Amino acid sequence: MQRLFSTFASGWPGVGLFVQRSLTAVLLVRYAIVGLKATNHSSAMIPDVIAACAGILLFVGLWTPITGGVIVVIELWIAMSHLADPWNSLVLATLAATLAMIGPGAWSFDALLFGRRHIAP
């Protein structure tokens, strides 16, 4: 899993990644709740439920590259199926793609689980 991350940024870059992760996750959950209230069909709810679950994983910073990839696919799916206003989904897909490429930052479960450790002699 270490190979999936280029680095676990700390300091101000880590704060920026934390803010980006948090904003993206909150928007994913919000749009999922709005989408679930608007649809009556159970099959139309699947992308919104997956996006909300992925948003929760993104918020805590768990499996960020995989979660970001899933969010990109789901948001592009939502953008293609809702042709009236695809811009929110495209912005969320772009944010998730950047998080998948950059990594979660130092303030995440990924950094705790898969970060570098010092071995004392």
Q: Cα separation of 15 and 105, whole Å?
A: 8
Task: Going residue by residue through the chain, which has 121 residues, state the pLDDT in tens, using 9 for 90 and above.
Answer: 545 555 676 778 888 888 999 999 999 999 888 888 887 777 778 888 999 999 999 999 888 889 999 999 999 998 998 777 889 999 999 999 999 988 887 778 777 677 666 566 6
CA distance 113 to 56: 17
Is residue 72 within 8 Å of 95, Cβ to Cβ? Answer: no
How far apart are the C-alpha atoms of 30 and 67, rounded to whole Å? 17
Q: Record the pTM.
A: 0.83
DSSP 39-106: ---TGGGHHHHHHHHHHHHHHHTSSHHHHHHHHHHHHHHHHHH--S--HHHHHHHHHHHHHHHH---S
